[in-house]
Chain A
Amino acid sequence: MRDEEVEKGLASNPRILLLGGAIIISLILLLLPAIFPDLGFGGLKYGLDLDGGSWLQLRPEGAMAQIDADVGTIITQEYSSFLNTTVTVTGTTDTSVSFEVETLVTAKQIESLGYGQAAVSGGRGGVSAVTLQVDKNHVISRYLENSYKTEVVLSEDRDGLWHEIRKQTSAEELEDILDDVGGSVILYRDGVSQATLAKTKEILEDKLNLFGLSDVKPIIVERKFILIDLAGIDIETAMDLAATPGKFEIRIQTQGNESIHAVYGEDIQTVGIHEANNGVWGVPFTLTQQGADLLREAAIETNAVNDPLNHEVIMYLDDGIIFSAPLNDRLADNLKIMPVQDMSASFGTDTGSKESAKQLESHLKVGALPVNVEVIGSGQVPASLGAQFKELTAIAGLLAIIMVSFMIYLRYRKKEIMLPMIITSISEVVMILGFASAVKWQLDLPAIAGIIAVIGTGIDHLVIITDEVLYEGKLPPTKVYLARISRAFGIIFAAAATTIIAMIWLFWLGFGALKGFALTTIIGVLIGVLIARPAYARIIKEVLKEEQE
């Protein structure tokens, strides 16, 4: 009769119901996917260090800077060295610069540096008066592009307008470049903009898809790196796939070794399969609308449309020339009239040309990252070692539970106390794993270390509860029991809060491999103090009551 009442008291207690419910849900989340793998929800996922594979951490190379410089000085400097004559600025407004050049120039010549639209007048005494429509930020970007010989784009965020230099540089190097035109760096920051970072990630993902790795999802970490986990792929292949694609660019020769920029890899829309057309090997590809416009502009600017043989189209990958050939006559004629999107890069008729075409095809397909990436971290864990780690951590976990049970028994001498304690502790592990399964966490070694940490503090807290309740060696009257429990939970909540505070920075700083550890610890502590430990306090009361009667 009494037993029944006890059972009923326990079973209807909200804390116990919460714990029971959480355990059942966790078990369902853990076991169902294992039994029915096709359901497609939940299921524990192991990290690379337990399942084997390789990982790469990539840093896009580049820098962002806020810059102040005088438009007039830049224009004077740039045009005097380009035209090899004296340039005198006669007036500047917000949107234009007027200057005189001691030689005869055409508007086209002035525009070829890319600073803006030009109007040229005069010619008296060999002096031309030029008015250039400019935009200050565009002028600075263009100046940096010419100095760095790389793409510089404007990007805006809540800190203002930035010039994004898509190349490895340093604040000193940038200052040196700006010193020449009396400009200065207001703010400098290593790394590329969030938009460029996301774009780089997207292209990498496309590329991995191309190689049949559709389940590989690169992720952005610490707002500046790209992390790629490649399960079951060795490190050599991983590096070849993800780290080697460089920056692709099409330029058109002006004279000798000089060339101007036409199109970057991101404007290549589709790439066909290398093929022989009338015996000539080539790779068909299409440009985006914007790319076609850019190529046409460059072809006109360099006069390649009229004199293709002296103005070859050059394709660069990572500053290395991978293709160089004149425009064919028909294309040159077409470009005079309108932009052309459909292109083909042709080689020769021999087998060497076939190989070159094949290589160019793969370069075109993947070499489209807006910036270079540097491998700043990489690793590989063989699947066999991962399996060993799983086995060993399982053994260690079991032995640790046995050891803790023994220590608890040694102290309290009652299996009525030891069993609820151990079961509560195991239930915490089940709930953490259930949560991990629900949110599709990757369980890796640092996360397991986090679980260990939670279990360690968990047992500590159960001991605190037990000792408070058992202060006089037996269960106190209900009023005293409640006071004691609330004091015990005062200690426990304080301790849990400090642990969470200690871990939150680790999570906030997004600290590489330890993010999983921090998150596991925080979630584990929350599950422990909010679900498992309150239920234990109730259970231990019933257990002691039963025993005393």
Chain B
Amino acid sequence: MVLLMKKINIEQYIESYLKKVSTAQMIIIPLVLLLISLIILGWSFISTGSPVELGVEFTGGTIVTVESPLSFEEVKQQFTSRFSDTPPISARDYGGGRVMLQFAPMDEAAQMELNKYLTSNYGKEVSLQQMSAQYGHDLQISAIKAVIYAFLGMAVLVFIIFRSVVPSGAVVLSAFSDIVIAATLMNLFGIALSLGTVAALLMLIGYSIDSDILLTTRLLKRRGNLEDKIKGAMKTGLTMTTTTLAAIFILFLVSTCAQYVSSFSRIDIISDISAVLLLGLATDLMNTWMLNTGILKWYLGREVPIGKRKRGRKK
């Protein structure tokens, strides 16, 4: 009974949303947020040299996770006194009786000494990840290239699919805004850019395009009342995104919180990917159903006075 109520509510909610929010508001609110995000990223770029915090894969350095009955402060102290030239730059509790330490990039001899110490004092239960600063820098460039090429490839394809400037531009703008706002949220939540989160940003391009293409196809290629078409597309699109959100939320929960319920430790790469996707998909809801919808509404509505198309007419 309660569930049935909810189902009706979704349609009512869409309807009241479309009534209350004007086309101008639909377009302006996301654009303002995009602008604020660009300012935050720009400011971060000026003050730290990078729009987002970079993970160890991109800065270079060593991350070590060891099993220890001691607190992370004590373990950090222990390593600091043993390796005074290359002390850990940070330490934190990793769950399941594990402590994670991060070191700045060091030379091969220092790395081998650290490895030796780890193996003889902590046995085989050590996770370790090390990247040289130079390779980290190379990876950074490859990552930026991958994201830019992916985005350009997607943009070209969208223009080929719709062969119309405004609708294609709206899709591309909305995907661009997804990435920018997701990156800003990563910045605010302190999620570092790692190989995993670059993958997540690329996945986001794929996900965000799904609902945008659905919306644009429904509005451009289907006959009928514009408002009804938007409602239909929104119903389908919201189902798509909320289903994905629900699955990703579970992933995030399991990979991040397993450490609190048992001796499990967190799975960083899955945790990071799911966190970025959650933020990005939430952003995509706004960009698809406000920005992209708003632009299409304005574009299709505007054509009526020219008298070429009747199908875009409303009311």
Interface residues of A (CB under 8 A from B): 49, 54, 57, 59, 234-236, 239, 243, 374-385, 388-389, 391-393, 395-396, 399-400, 403-404, 406-408, 410-411, 413, 445-446, 448-450, 452-453, 455-457, 459-461, 463-464, 467, 471, 487, 490-491, 494-495, 497-499, 501-506, 509, 511-514, 517, 521
A3–B233 Cα distance when bound, in Å, is: 34
Chain A residue contacts of B246, Cβ below 8 A: 400, 403-404, 406-407
Q: Are A376 and B127 interface neighbours, CB within 8 A?
A: no
Q: Are B244 and A460 interface neighbours, CB within 8 A?
A: yes
**Smallest CB–CB gap between B1 and chain A, Å?**
13
Chain A residue contacts of B22, Cβ below 8 A: none
Point out the residue from B125, B132, B255 that lies within 8 Å of A396, measured CB to CB: B255
A366–B276 Cα distance when bound, in Å, is: 46
Identity of the chain B residue whose Cβ is nearest the Cβ of A243 in the assembled complex? B108
Q: What is the 8 Å Cβ interface bit string for chain B, positions 88-122, against chain A (1 contact, 0 not)?
A: 00000000000000000000100110011011000
Closest 3 CB pairs of A and B: A499-B206, A501-B153, A396-B254
Name which of B119, B195, B213 has the most chain A CB atoms within 10 A of its CB: B213
Jot down 11 A-B pairs with beta carbons below 8 A, ordered by A.
Answer: A235-B119, A236-B112, A379-B129, A392-B258, A452-B273, A456-B207, A461-B210, A467-B236, A499-B205, A505-B149, A517-B199
Q: Are B150 and A503 interface neighbours, CB within 8 A?
A: yes
Stretch at the interface among B264-272, B289-297, B300-308: B264-272
A49–B135 Cα distance when bound, in Å, is: 21
Q: Does chain A have a CB within 8 A of B251? A: yes
- A487-B221, A495-B210, A498-B154 known; A234+B124 contact, CB < 8 A: yes
Name which of A395, A459, A502 has the most chain B CB atoms within 10 A of its CB: A502
Point out the residue from A235, A392, A498 that lies within 8 Å of B264, measured CB to CB: A392
Q: Does chain A have a CB within 8 A of B50? A: no
The number of residues on chain B lying at the interface, defined by a beta carbon within 8 Å of a beta carbon of chain A, is 75
Q: Does chain A have a CB within 8 A of B166? A: no
Chain A residue contacts of B129, Cβ below 8 A: 378-379
Given contacts A453-B207, A457-B210, 19 further A-B contacts (CB under 8 A): A239-B112, A378-B130, A392-B254, A407-B242, A446-B196, A452-B247, A452-B251, A453-B206, A457-B206, A459-B243, A487-B217, A491-B213, A491-B217, A498-B205, A502-B202, A502-B206, A505-B149, A511-B142, A513-B195
**Smallest CB–CB gap between A450 and chain B, Å?**
8
- A383-B124, A449-B196 known; A456+B244 contact, CB < 8 A: yes
Chain A residue contacts of B158, Cβ below 8 A: 498
Q: Interface of chain B, helix or strand or loop or mixed?
A: helix
Q: Are B217 and A490 interface neighbours, CB within 8 A?
A: yes
Q: Are A460 and B250 interface neighbours, CB within 8 A?
A: no
Identity of the chain A residue whose Cβ is nearest the Cβ of B130 in the assembled complex? A378
Q: Interface of chain A, helix or strand or loop or mixed?
A: helix
Q: Are B209 and A499 interface neighbours, CB within 8 A?
A: yes
A382–B65 Cα distance when bound, in Å, is: 10
A458–B74 Cα distance when bound, in Å, is: 48
Chain A residue contacts of B269, Cβ below 8 A: 49, 445-446, 449
Q: What is the 8 Å Cβ interface bit string for chain B, positions 137-166, against chain A (1 contact, 0 not)?
A: 001001101100111011001100100000
Identity of the chain B residue whose Cβ is nearest the Cβ of A388 in the assembled complex? B264
Q: Are A460 and B207 interface neighbours, CB within 8 A?
A: yes
A494–B209 Cα distance when bound, in Å, is: 9
- A57-B135, A375-B132 known; A395+B254 contact, CB < 8 A: yes
Identity of the chain A residue whose Cβ is nearest the Cβ of B200 in the assembled complex? A449
Point out the residue from B213, B222, B267 that lies within 8 Å of A498, measured CB to CB: B213
Chain A residue contacts of B196, Cβ below 8 A: 446, 449
Point out the residue from A239, A464, A503 that lies within 8 Å of B240, measured CB to CB: A464
A63–B250 Cα distance when bound, in Å, is: 49
Chain B residue contacts of A411, Cβ below 8 A: 7, 239, 243
A380–B125 Cα distance when bound, in Å, is: 9
Q: Are A377 and B150 interface neighbours, CB within 8 A?
A: no
**Smallest CB–CB gap between A58 and chain B, Å?**
10
- A505-B149, A511-B142 known; A392+B267 contact, CB < 8 A: yes
Identity of the chain B residue whose Cβ is nearest the Cβ of A381 in the assembled complex? B127
Q: Does chain A have a CB within 8 A of B131? A: yes
Q: Are A378 and B128 interface neighbours, CB within 8 A?
A: yes
Q: Are A502 and B125 interface neighbours, CB within 8 A?
A: no
Q: Are A445 and B270 interface neighbours, CB within 8 A?
A: yes
A464–B7 Cα distance when bound, in Å, is: 18
**Smallest CB–CB gap between B8 and chain A, Å?**
12
Q: Are A380 and B126 interface neighbours, CB within 8 A?
A: yes
Q: What is the 8 Å Cβ interface bit string for chain B, positions 208-224, against chain A (1 contact, 0 not)?
A: 01110110010001100
A382–B151 Cα distance when bound, in Å, is: 37
A378–B64 Cα distance when bound, in Å, is: 11
Q: Are B119 and A376 interface neighbours, CB within 8 A?
A: no
**Smallest CB–CB gap between B102 and chain A, Å?**
14
Identity of the chain A residue whose Cβ is nearest the Cβ of B236 in the assembled complex? A467
**Smallest CB–CB gap between B147 and chain A, Å?**
9
Identity of the chain A residue whose Cβ is nearest the Cβ of B141 in the assembled complex? A509
A396–B251 Cα distance when bound, in Å, is: 5
Q: Are B150 and A505 interface neighbours, CB within 8 A?
A: yes
Identity of the chain B residue whose Cβ is nearest the Cβ of A57 in the assembled complex? B135
Q: Are B243 and A382 interface neighbours, CB within 8 A?
A: no
Q: Does chain A have a CB within 8 A of B198? A: yes
Chain B residue contacts of A59, Cβ below 8 A: 135
Chain B residue contacts of A513, Cβ below 8 A: 195
**Smallest CB–CB gap between B146 and chain A, Å?**
5
Chain A residue contacts of B249, Cβ below 8 A: 403
A404–B245 Cα distance when bound, in Å, is: 9
Identity of the chain A residue whose Cβ is nearest the Cβ of B221 in the assembled complex? A487
Chain A residue contacts of B250, Cβ below 8 A: 396, 399-400, 403
Identity of the chain B residue whose Cβ is nearest the Cβ of A391 in the assembled complex? B264
Q: Does chain A have a CB within 8 A of B232? A: yes
Chain B residue contacts of A494, Cβ below 8 A: 157, 161, 213, 217
Identity of the chain B residue whose Cβ is nearest the Cβ of A373 in the assembled complex? B108
Q: Are A504 and B153 interface neighbours, CB within 8 A?
A: yes
Q: Does chain A have a CB within 8 A of B54? A: no
Chain B residue contacts of A448, Cβ below 8 A: 270
Point out the residue from A392, A410, A491, A495 that lies within 8 Å of B3, measured CB to CB: A410
Q: Does chain A have a CB within 8 A of B248? A: yes
Name which of B149, B210, B222 has the most chain A CB atoms within 10 A of its CB: B210
Point out the residue from A375, A392, A463, A514 that lies within 8 Å of B255, measured CB to CB: A392
Chain B residue contacts of A453, Cβ below 8 A: 203, 206-207
Q: Are B205 and A502 interface neighbours, CB within 8 A?
A: yes
Q: Are B247 and A460 interface neighbours, CB within 8 A?
A: no
**Smallest CB–CB gap between A247 and chain B, Å?**
15
